[in-house]
Amino acid sequence: MSSYHSAARLDEARRVAIFGGTHGNEMSGVMLVNLWVQNNTEVQRKGVEVQPFITNPKAVEKCTRYVDTDLNRAFTPENLSTLGGGDLPYEVRRAQEINRMFGPKGSPEAYDVIFDLHNTTSNMGCTLLLESSKDHFNLQMMNYIQASVSNSNLYLPVDTLHRSSLNSLEVGPQPQGVLRSNIFESMRDILKHALDFIELFNAGRTHYIFRLSERIDYPRDDNGNIIAMVHPNLQDCDWEPLNPGDPMFQTFDGKTIHYQGSGTVYPTFINEAAYYEKQQAFATTRRESLVASAIRKA
């Protein structure tokens, strides 16, 4: 979820978009958005225009992550400004269309808040990816959600100034191309509380967030072939502490590779299916605290 303006918004968010299908095989967001396109009564709030929107319809139709390139990585300044029309990859053209409809990004005309709905095959529960630690509106919204939903985490990427994708809500575990009722309802519940918050402004409090530290690849041989898998002790342990010396990988001949970092980290996106192509076995994060300043209606 994202404030599409470059500066933090301290007044009420008047226009909200809910994106589903950015990855066409992540079914919870696809089904929820399709539901709300047909009947948006559930997501409407007083004084707020809420627009559900399928972002990558061709990928949704094929039930695949993307057609030509990852839409979630296509919102770079270069892609948004490049010319080429029909010669461009489908997702680049789609990113330009979305930017015109809901942006332009960073402009006063842009939508105030965007929710980008995703599933993960990792056992991450409900995870909210926040673009900036200085966005007080979104910090307060995270606070409200975390107080309402016990199994929710806040994740702050380290490269916030260079992110090319919208901030997102990740809910898992759910296989690609599959719809699980519990994951569907968890995502629905998060959205309910987030939309409820948009009319409320709470006092500041401390949030615990997880900041990206490092992306860890699978062990490989000299030819680039994977030679080990995620260790059973680590599998499905997203957000649980990984200490130096803890088992990290298990080679195909049964040997254990231990974590050799300098301190405790909190792994996430463990064994995410979509990240094999990105050469990532999991990401390590470090737990931090942030204080959201109190905000008030304008």
Which positions are catalytic?
170
Beta carbons of 283 and 212 less than 8 angstroms apart: yes
How far apart, in whole angstroms, are the C-alpha atoms of residue 11 and residue 193? 18
Beta carbons of 245 and 263 less than 8 angstroms apart: no
Residue 139 sits at the vertex; the CA angle it makes with 186 and 110, to the nearest 5 degrees, is: 90
- The two tokens of residue 287 are 């737990």
Q: Which long-range contacts (CB under 8 A, 24 or more apart) does 220-229 make?
A: 227/251, 227/252, 228/252, 228/257, 229/271
Q: Which long-range contacts (CB under 8 A, 24 or more apart) does 32-35 make?
A: 32/117, 32/184, 32/187, 32/188, 32/191, 33/117
Grouping H, G, I as helix, E, B as strand and the rest as coil, residue 61 is helix
Terminus-to-terminus CA distance in the chain, angstroms? 22
**What b/e sequence results for 138-157 when a residue is b if at least 16 CB atoms lie within 10 Å of its CB, and e otherwise?**
bbbbbbbbbeebeebbbbbb
Does the annotation list 97 as a binding residue?
A: no
Closest by CA to 94, choosing from 37, 138, 56, is 56
Residue 135's Cα: distance from chain center in Å? 16
Does the annotation list 26 as a binding residue?
A: yes
Does the annotation list 118 as a binding residue?
A: yes
Q: How many Cβ atoms are within 10 Å of 90's Cβ, its own excluded?
A: 17
Residues of the binding site for Zn(2+) = 23, 26, 118
